[in-house]
Amino acid sequence: GAGVSQSPSNKVTEKGKDVELRCDPISGHTALYWYRQRLGQGLEFLIYFQGNSAPDKSGLPSDRFSAERTGESVSTLTIQRTQQEDSAVYLCASSLLRGGNYNEQFFGPGTRLTVL
Amino acid sequence: DAKTTQPNSMESNEEEPVHLPCNHSTISGTDYIHWYRQLPSQGPEYVIHGLTSNVNNRMASLAIAEDRKSSTLILHRATLRDAAVYYCILRSNFGNEKLTFGTGTRLTIIP
């Protein structure tokens, strides 16, 4: 009965390095979302996976950002050649799409990324 | 998704009701009104949602204006654990599944 989990909880990296952030959604949830939250700001949508459909990548800020999802399980967000402006908390959420519009998103605790 | 406007911050005394307002004057007929909150150092959590009628659940109540251009989240008896940033979000029911967060209202509970 675990919720959404993310790893690592904290990541410090040097500018120019690549990082991978992992999200384990709630079992059975077909939809998975990545968001970014800069200090003191609201969440920004990055990417959305729904089943076998093509992901909605409209929120990815640059081609340095990419994400994959294996079936309806784990997702990995990769940031290549990190920049200082990538420093933020990266949040993952999952939901079980049902009839109508009631599909509450369950969020993980986030990964705090610091780029030096 | 249409935009929402919320006060940046509010304060309330513990054990008193709290009314958190949200304006959404450009709401469309297919937009649902969602509320999420984010406790310190945590991811957001769902609070409540509605379309036209007022809604109640174990966490809160949602009062929606008749013209739907504004809504109010009501916490009936605030506790210290309700201190959080509260986000009012509109989302169309036409397959646009992402949530568009604004800056929300930071609620401080005074003991």
Instruction: Tell me the pairing of strands A43-50 and A5-7.
Output: unpaired
Tell me: the pLDDT tens digits for A69-112? 988 889 999 999 999 999 999 999 998 876 655 578 999 999 99
Interface subset of A 32-61, CB within 8 angstroms of B: 33, 35, 41-45, 48, 50, 56, 59
- How many CB atoms are located within 10 Å of the residue A39 CB? 8
d(CA A88, CA A103): 26
Four-residue CA torsion sign, A20, A25, A27, A32: negative
Name the residue facing A48 among B36, B42, B98 (closest C-beta). Answer: B98
* B104 interface with A at CB cutoff 8 Å: yes
A34/chain B closest Cα distance in angstroms: 9
Name the residue facing B97 among A35, A50, A109 (closest C-beta). Answer: A50
Name the residue facing A31 among B45, B97, B100 (closest C-beta). Answer: B97
Mean pLDDT of A42-65: 92
Tell me: the pLDDT tens digits for A27-38? 988 889 999 999
